[in-house]
Amino acid sequence: MNERKTLKINQDGHLEIGGVIARDLAKEYGTPLYVMDQQYIEDMCSIYAKTLQDEYGDGMIAYASKAFSCKEIYRIVNAMGVGADVVSGGEIYTALKAGFPMEKVCFHGNNKTLQELNLAVKEKVGLIVLDSYSEADILNDICKNAGVFQKVLIRVNPGVEAHTHHFIQTANIDSKFGFSIVSGEAEEMILHVKSKSNLDLQGLHCHIGSQIFEQKSFVLAVNKMTDFYKMLKDRHGIEFPVLNLGGGFGIWYADGDAKKKLNDYAEYIKIIAKELKKAVVEKGLIKPFLILEPGRSIVGEAGVTLYTVGRIKTIRDVKNYIAIDGGMFDNPRFALYQAKYTVIPAERAKETPALKYTIAGKCCESGDIIAEDVYLPNMNEGDLIAVLSTGAYNYSMSSNYNRNLIPPVVMVKDGKSRYAVKPQTYEDIIRNDI
């Protein structure tokens, strides 16, 4: 486990998060339960924002709220002076209702609907990131009618193949996102958007993928993007004041992932800042306002999901299953891309592992697994287990599959806990049924 001040095993072998014992949280709020360490989120925001300021200067961290979106997280990151990246009308609406400043919002998406674009313009979203010709045309019409000159970026694809799971790579040549730089399609789109009366093209955006540890992937992205900025300057006299390099910084989930202390995460920003400063000087470019959009690394390790062990099934000489009271409806990441997790017995974390288990969810689906080949002490029905690093792409990817209730989210800080998202009820589930 990647221990820190706000995530540790105490002397009695109990997991503690944010100064609260996991068992006490389970008793008070029930299971399954998402627990979020607020201090960790705040620390990550301030480390990123400060490093960007110190190492680069003009720029903004825009928390990629697809990783974990609810009103409380927008309040927390806003209080830390961080902006937000959103990808849907629902995320815009949630941020808005949390009082988030819309000028600090960057709106992405490869197929934004008319309704979403209208909402973004009406609510004065700071930057809209275009991903198609028709989107540019539609947005221009909306802005013309509204008398708005909308700041936009274009999503481009620099062709960087990051070493991460295929489903979370986003900048290889056949990606569904962005215009390829290499094929010339990005250049054509830039000229198209430049011709639009009500779109103010500020620069370009790329995002090479997620859960990337290799610094050289980010260095490569900086160089491909600045080479392209230089080409645009030389060929068309276009100079962009903004560059958005997306997010994607890798975090610790399980053995095999680099264990980072909070301050180690600053390295990702430092390396990008250093490379970009060097590139703009060498290529004779204006130093752009730099936007970075980390999501996973701000909230991922902040999260722990607590489950109660239910049935235990032993298939002699084959497998030991532990069934928990959650599953793919609160964490679909194993089912999606065999994501790895660390599982610990939350009340007996100092006991020696005795058996190899597979942690199965309660959904009617064989692929409903949370983790495979986990070594734990002999487990019994009623035991509490904790799955670590579940703060990103868990709650935000949850569903009511099998009409299971989405677990509540509890924020912990300084030994206190409170709901960030209340528990669902069966009434919530049938609310919109006719």
Ligand X SMILES: Cc1ncc(COP(=O)(O)O)c(C=O)c1O
- The residue ranges that bind ligand X (CB under 6 A) are 64, 67, 85, 108, 170, 207, 210, 246-249, 293-297
Q: What residues pair up with 376 in beta bridges, in sequence order?
A: 355
Other Cβ atoms closer than 10 A to 110 = 15
Q: Which is nearer to ligand X, 29 or 268 (CB)?
A: 268
Query: Could you tell me which residues come within 8 angstroms of residue 233 by beta carbon, excluding any fewer than 6 positions away?
Result: 239, 284, 285
Q: Which two tokens stand for residue 346?
A: 């939350």
Q: How far is the CB of 211 from ligand X (least distance, A)?
A: 6
Q: How far is the CB of 164 from ligand X (least distance, A)?
A: 9
Q: How far is the CB of 375 from ligand X (least distance, A)?
A: 28
Dihedral over alpha carbons 325, 326, 329, 332 (to 10 degrees): -150
End-to-end CA distance of the chain: give it in Å, rounded.
47
Q: How far is the CB of 69 from ligand X (least distance, A)?
A: 12
Q: What residues pair up with 385 in beta bridges, in sequence order?
A: 307, 345
Q: Which is nearer to ligand X, 293 or 347 (CB)?
A: 293
What type of residue sits at position 383?
D
What is the H or E stretch that residue 272 is in? helix 266-283
Task: Map tokens 């072998």 to a residue.
Answer: 13
Q: Which is nearer to ligand X, 154 or 384 (CB)?
A: 154
Backbone angles phi, psi at 221, to 5 degrees: -60, -45
Q: What is the largest CA-CA distance in the chain?
A: 71
Q: How far is the CB of 244 from ligand X (least distance, A)?
A: 8
Q: Which is nearer to ligand X, 295 or 345 (CB)?
A: 295
Closest CA to 190 of 140, 236, 151: 236
Q: Which is nearer to ligand X, 64 or 369 (CB)?
A: 64
Q: Which is nearer to ligand X, 244 or 308 (CB)?
A: 244
Dihedral over alpha carbons 21, 25, 27, 28 (to 10 degrees): 130
Task: Map tokens 């793919």 to a residue.
Answer: 328
For residues 295 and 67, what is the distance between their CA atoms, to the nearest angstrom? 5
For residues 290 and 61, what is the distance between their CA atoms, to the nearest angstrom? 8
For residues 429 and 24, what is the distance between their CA atoms, to the nearest angstrom? 28
Q: How far is the CB of 155 from ligand X (least distance, A)?
A: 7
Q: How far is the CB of 64 from ligand X (least distance, A)?
A: 3
Q: Which is nearer to ligand X, 85 or 116 (CB)?
A: 85
416-421 and 409-413: which strand pairing?
antiparallel
77 neighbors 40 (Cβ within 8 angstroms): no
186 neighbors 157 (Cβ within 8 angstroms): yes
- Catalytic residue IDs: 364
